[in-house]
Structures are given as structure tokens and as C-alpha cells.
Amino acid sequence: MMKGLKKWRLFSLLAVMTVFLSACGEEYITTLKPTGAVGKEQFNLLLFSIAIMALVTIVVSVLYLYAFMKARRSKLGEDYMPKQVEGSHTLEVIWTVIPIILLLILAVPTLISTYKFADVKAMDKVDEEGNKTALTVNVTAKLYWWEFEYPEQGIVTAQELVVPTDEKVYFNLKAADVKHSFWIPAVGGKMDTNVENVNKFYLEFGEESADLKDGVFYGKCAELCGPSHALMDFKVKAVDRNEFNDWVAAMQATEGATASAESTDLGEQTFANSCLMCHAVSGVGASGAMGPNLTTFGDRNRVAGVLEHSKESLEEWVKDPEAIKPGNLMTGKYGELSDEEISAVADYIMGLSIEE
């Protein structure tokens, strides 16, 4: 009997260990393998609080199991009459004071980090020439896509955030329609994008994303925002500062780029007639567009945030966006397109790139 029990214990311990080991998740999305100072500090707080809570849980469990094992009527006999104890002041004091101490210990790093993460004063710092020293990105969350504006650089992109590594990147967060929440799990905690005010916070990207499976970190909308809430993904490309500067320069160089309705290319023609009202192909500008900026579409990782990055997916999306993202605002905005036009416009959009 005891031997069987021991084996069972060993088995369950192993099972639990397996769960824990496989429970770290994929490094481009999990909070358990964080990159950057913010995510790491939050992860450390997680470990620290788990340690305290594990201590509490173990003490409670041991007491509970011991009390139960000793008090089973099947062992004590049917007629056993326990002593009717009223209580104990000493014990009450002990189990009031010890938790208070444990909570005070937990409260210290909590309070320090709370104030630290809310400190965005450096956003407004300027050097001698009056340029802002820190990078700021204005994030606008819209029904099922994300717009990223770089106000100092005068550029705007969508769906794929590009950021430099190893420096604080500040965010101004706002929603254009309903409330959303901006979350890059592997980099740090979320912040809501409210409709009536701008929220500010910062994140740090500790490593380049190039080595990850898709070459990007995954970003999510974390606040229920309608039918396609689950599909409101974005991606984050973290690159070193030089590469980032190159990217900014390439974006700025697209100034004035547009699609011409007179073009001989059917794709560009179709784009100019059906898509250009909402989708810009120049990266220079500010936020406030009707649809995602497509200047860097060819360099991106997904179509519509969730589909594989291929011409086929893009055609599928243009044919019937509603089937892929229910409730999106693109459906029905561009009339009927023939298969030929869709194929041509997909080629055109896939060809929009600044990286070559």
C-alpha cells in the first residue's frame, strides 16, 4: 500500500514537472521568456510572488492534510467526541501577523515597479537642438488593426511595429473607435488604448527579433473589441539602432509615393481606383488613416494580421474580408473586383517594399 502510494507520488510529481517544463511557451509570445528590462522585471516579480505564494500554499496544505489525516472518523471510531474548542487568540494573532509581513514584503517591489513603469518624463526630453532624445511611437488601435506613427520622424506604418533594441521606446496609446489594449507579451505588460484619452508607457526590446521563428514578436489586442478581437494581432520587428535608422530613412524616402490610375500595370490601376482612398503607399504622414498603411506590405509577416504572408492569402482576403475578419470595416468599401483585378492588385501590394 505505502509502496504503491510512493510510486503514485513520483508519477504525479513527474507529470507536474513535465507540465511546468512544457509550460514556458514560444519565445515570440510568452511572458515566461521575456526580453527587455520591463518584461524581465515583471517576470522577476512573477517569480518572487510565486515563491511567497508557494510558501503560503505549502504551509496551508501541510496543515490541512495533517489535520485531516489525524481527524478521520474512520480511524478515531464512530463514537469519538472531540473537545469543543472555542478558538485561540495566539493563533489568530500569528496567522494575521505573518500574512501581513509577507504582503508587506511583496508590496515593496510592487510599489517600486508601479512608479517606475509609470515614469514617462523622458518622453519630453530634448537635446540642444530641440530634438526629442527618446523614440516615441503613437499607437492607434482601430477595429481590428493597429496604426503606428513615429511623430518625430514623420512616418507612419501599420500592423508591423519596427523598433530599435536596447533603448526605452515610449508609446502614446489611443483607440479610434472602441476600447482595445496594446500587449506584446514577450516584451512587457499591456496598457489599454482608451477612446477618450492618451495613455503613455514605455517598453524595452532586449534582443533583435530576427532570430525568432517568424523574425518578429507577436502583439495582441487584450480587450474584447468585437467579433474579430481574437484576430487583432500585430507583429513587432526589433532591430539594432543602425538598422532602425536605415529603416526610418527608407520610409522617409517614400514621400509622395502613390498609385496612378493611369498606370499600365493593372494592379496599380486597380489599387488607385479601389484601394488608395483608404490605404496609403507612402510611409510619410501621420496617423488617422481609414485603412492600414501599405508602404511596407511586402516586408511584413502576415496578411490582415493572421493569414500567411502569400499572394494567395491576400487574394482570399480581398475577395471576402468578412469571411476572415467578421465585423471589419473594409468589407463592401471597394465594389466588385474581377479575379483578374484581384490577382493583379495582390501582385502590386505584395511588391510594396522598402527593404530591397
Partner 1 sequence: MSSAAVTNKKGFGATLWDYLTTVDHKKLGVMYLFAGTLFFAIAGFEALLMRLQLMIPNNDFVSAGTFNELLTMHGTTMLFLAATPLLFGFMNAIVPLQIGARDVAFPFLNSLGFWLFFLGALFLHLSFFLGGAPDAGWTNYASLALYSPGHGIDFYVLGLQISGAGTLISGINFIVTIITMRAPGMTFMRMPLFTWTSLISSALILFAFPPLTVGLFLMLVDRMFEANFFDHTMGGNTIIWEHLFWIFGHPEVYILVLPAFGLFSEIIPVFARKRLFGYSSMVFATILIGFLGFMVWAHHMFTTGLGATANAIFAVATMAIAVPTGMKVFNWIMTIWGGSVKVTVPMLYALGFIPSFVAGGVTGVMQAAAPLDYQLHDSYFIVAHFHYVIVGGIVTAIFGSMHFYWPIMFNRALSEKLGVWTFWIFFIGFHCTFFIQHFLGLMGMPRRVFTFQADQGWDLFNFISSIGAILMAIGVILLVINIIITAKSKPLNCRDYWGDGRSLEWAIKTPVPFYNFKQTPLVRGYDPYWLEKHEGNKEGMIYAEPLGDIHMPNNSILPLVMSIGTFVAAFGALYHPDGKAWAIPVLILGLAITVGAMIVRSVKDDLGFHVHVEEVIATEEHLYGKGGNK
From candidates 181, 254, 274, 295, binder to partner 1 by CB under 8 A = 181
- Is residue 90 within the footprint of partner 1 (CB under 8 A)? no
Q: Which residue, 250, 353, 249, is CA-closest to 300?
A: 353
Grid cell, residue 122, equals 523622458
Question: Would you give the DSSP letter of residue 298?
Answer: G
Site string for partner 1, 57-86 (x = CB under 8 A): x--xx-xx--xx-xxxxx-x---xxxxxxx
From candidates 142, 168, 220, 237, binder to partner 1 by CB under 8 A = 220
- We find the least distance from the C-beta atom of residue 161 to partner 1, in angstroms, to be 16
Residues of span 256-315 touching partner 1 by CB under 8 A: 306
CA 131/CA 120 separation, integer angstroms: 17
- Is residue 111 within the footprint of partner 1 (CB under 8 A)? yes
- We find the least distance from the C-beta atom of residue 336 to partner 1, in angstroms, to be 24
**Conformation bin of residue 304: beta by default, left when phi > 0, alpha when psi is -120 to 50:** left
Residues of span 16-45 touching partner 1 by CB under 8 A: 19, 22-26, 29-32, 39, 41-42, 45
From candidates 8, 13, 95, 311, binder to partner 1 by CB under 8 A = 95
Query: Whose Cβ is closer to partner 1: residue 177's or residue 265's?
Result: 177
At 178, the amino acid letter reads: V
From candidates 166, 167, 177, 265, binder to partner 1 by CB under 8 A = 177
Q: Which residue, 275, 296, 254, is CA-closest to 158?
A: 296
From candidates 139, 155, 162, 175, binder to partner 1 by CB under 8 A = 175
From candidates 36, 164, 188, 267, binder to partner 1 by CB under 8 A = 188
- We find the least distance from the C-beta atom of residue 271 to partner 1, in angstroms, to be 28
Beta strands 135-142 and 168-175 are parallel
CA 319/CA 327 separation, integer angstroms: 15
Q: Which residue, 290, 280, 297, is CA-closest to 155?
A: 280
- We find the least distance from the C-beta atom of residue 131 to partner 1, in angstroms, to be 27
Query: Whose Cβ is closer to partner 1: residue 221's or residue 275's?
Result: 221
296 contacts 354 by C-beta, under 8 angstroms: yes
CA 353/CA 356 separation, integer angstroms: 7
- Is residue 218 within the footprint of partner 1 (CB under 8 A)? yes
